[in-house]
Amino acid sequence: MSKSSVYSGKTLRKLKYGVIGVGIIGKHHVKCATEIPEINLVAVSDVNERALKEVKDQYGVKIYKDYHEMIEKENLEAVSICVPHFLHAPITLDVIKMGVHVLVEKPIALSVKEADEMINAAKKHGVKLGVVFQNRTNPLLLYIKDMITKGEVGDMLRAHLTYLCYRSQSYYQSASWRGKWKSEGGGVLINQAIHFIDIFQWLVGIRPLRLYSFASRLAHNIEVEDIAVAILEFENRALGSIQVSSIEVPQQTRIEIRGDKKAVIIEKNTAYIFSNDVPLKESILKLPMWKTPTYIEKKITLDDFHKEWGHKVVLQDFAKAVLNDRDPMVTGEEAEKSLEIVNAIILSSVKRKEVQFPISRDEYEEVLKHLSETKGVDLVRK
């Protein structure tokens, strides 16, 4: 394989690709893969024969019940892994040991200890490990990230995430692995909110120093949490908070990034940017009593950008990363950052204590084992 170019003359080199798990999200990977010029979707695998037949009938790809057999017989170079959470780590480790590149759906794993093992294995075997966080391809969020990276927001002072969604009990009854610690690894935090916890920490760009949280189960008949609140201190001493829930209407996703030069509020694919005439740290020391800085407001929406984003962009980037021997847009190390925040929130809530970063891998494994065995009894406060 050429490491310098994906082209050989005028012919585009295609990556021999497979998809492991063809449920709802796996079928979407299949659809995207068939539309990407750098990918040759050869085969898919799943233990569900009906799901396999549906994909075969629609896309004409080869089907396998055993992913080991699929990879070996078809000599695949890379795969998407789209299976329930608890299978992410074991299947990824299996595939990596076979020398195959892996793009795994979020979350990367149930715990940071598992994620560490996956990251280390990929390095040892010289393969790419990418994770799907498709919101990182959103052009509006990329615009805000670039602005923050360039220092236009100034010193970070405060950051806040609110993610409120709604899931009925029937959602958890739709698949046997949902709502259980052993198979899902958590509730709203690791399944729904992790998308925006990832965006939140990515935009802030500063690692958490410590965290204190509360998580609970208020409305669903499940083992895992359906509501959680955390307060954070970042390494630069800025403060932040995270509020998530799967029992809310109206639903809401809101991120606030407050710097001493600009404040950014993102909600409903719209960003409101407030630019101070003087940095706050400077104005606080100079302005007379009751005088506040003036600012200019700017509104930017997703509609201002005419650019494709989502899963297809992630898969194409991953294929190009393999073909050009570079890192994918979201590496295992990057994906682990949001998982560590999720694990820390659960750890703090169960232990009822402040948690420092990096969190203790072994301590969290003990907590996860306890939650699995007791079916999350500690989440119901007495």
The CATH class given to the 136-305+337-379 domain equals: alpha beta
For residue 9, the model assigns a pLDDT of 42
- Amino acid 1: pLDDT: 33
Low-confidence ranges of the chain (pLDDT < 70): 1-11, 380-382
Q: Where in the chain is the domain with CATH 3.30.360.10?
A: 136-305+337-379
- Residue 381, pLDDT score: 57
Domain with CATH 3.40.50.720 in the chain: 7-134+311-331
* Measured distance CA(368)–CA(181) in Å, rounded: 7
| Strand spans (E) along 260-358 | 262-267, 270-276, 295-301, 355-356
> What local confidence, expressed as pLDDT, does residue 380 receive?
63
**Rounded-to-integer distance, Cα 203 and Cα 68, Å:** 38
Instruction: Report the distance separating Cα 270 and Cα 310, nearest Å.
Output: 17
Closest CA to 24 of 108, 65, 84, 101: 84
pLDDT tens-digit profile of 166-224? 999 999 999 999 999 999 999 999 999 999 999 999 999 999 999 999 999 999 999 99
Q: Coil, strand, or helix at residue 328?
A: coil
CATH, domain range 7-134+311-331: 3.40.50.720
Q: What is the pLDDT, as a whole number, of residue 5? A: 38
CA separation (Å) from 126 to 32, 100, 209, 245, 322? 26, 9, 32, 39, 11
Distance CA 265, CA 150 (A): 18
